[in-house]
């Protein structure tokens, strides 16, 4: 196996691509390396961040098109609110892990950032997340995150800001 396809090389490539994207967009960030975690809630705990400041990227399908939303780890997406906001069809649904793995092979399932060169930009970011001074976003794998200003995420994605979480 060549070093280019080894797991550690893939991790470096993923993280480097996300960091390079942020640098190219002139976004100030802090890269945080942490122990392996498999959820946004666990990411909050290991990074010492309140759950309301940790971005959970939700990938959805509307027919054959991906829709990306970002909400805090403390919240749950309200699919009805998102459908209404986007004028989406009743086909709007959560993408499956198999679909995510197939369509975004350069990223680890469950660690997709709401921005970057490998994914469509987030279409909607929950308003409660944007109110935070900084948010922690996945950086493409389960061992790295980036701390960024949420207003910068809105700027680089041109996402709508709205209340899309359950009340």
- 């369509």: which residue's tokens? 103
Backbone angles phi, psi at 60, to 5 degrees: -130, 160
**How do residues 65-76 score in pLDDT, each as one tens digit?**
899 999 999 999
- Report all structural domains of the chain as residue ranges with CATH numbers, in order of start: 3-162 (3.90.960.10)
State the maximum Cα–Cα separation within the chain, in Å, rounded to a whole number: 50
Note the pLDDT tens digit of each residue in 13-25: 899 999 999 999 9
Is the pLDDT reported for residue 50 higher than 80?
A: yes
**What are the distances in angstroms from CA 16 to CA 33, 59, 104, 114?**
13, 22, 16, 16
Band (5; pLDDT cuts 50, 70, 90): very low
Structure confidence at residue 136 as a pLDDT band (50, 70, 90): very high
Do the strands 135-138 and 144-148 form a parallel or antiparallel pair, or are they unpaired? Answer: antiparallel
Q: Using CA atoms of 32, 36, 37, 40 in order, give the dihedral in degrees to the nearest 10.
A: 20
DSSP classification of residue 121 = P
Q: Please report, rounded to a whole number, the percentage of residues in the chain having pLDDT higher than 70.
A: 93
């Amino acid at each position: 196996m060549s070093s280019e396809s080894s797991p550690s090389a893939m991790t470096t490539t993923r993280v480097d691509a996300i960091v390079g994207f942020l640098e190219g967009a002139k976004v100030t960030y802090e890269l945080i390396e942490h122990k392996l975690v498999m959820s946004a809630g666990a990411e909050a705990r290991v990074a010492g961040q309140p759950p309301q400041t940790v971005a959970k990227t939700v990938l959805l399908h509307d027919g054959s098109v991906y829709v990306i939303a970002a909400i805090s780890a403390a919240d749950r997406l309200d699919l009805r609110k998102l459908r209404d906001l986007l004028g989406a069809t009743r086909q709007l649904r959560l993408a499956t892990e198999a679909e995510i793995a197939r369509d975004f092979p350069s990223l680890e399932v469950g660690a997709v950032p709401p921005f970057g060169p490998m994914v469509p930009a987030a279409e909607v970011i929950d308003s409660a997340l944007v109110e935070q001074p900084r948010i922690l976003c996945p950086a493409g794998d389960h061992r790295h995150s980036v701390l960024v200003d949420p207003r910068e995420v809105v700027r680089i994605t041109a996402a709508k800001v709205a209340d899309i979480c359950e009340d």
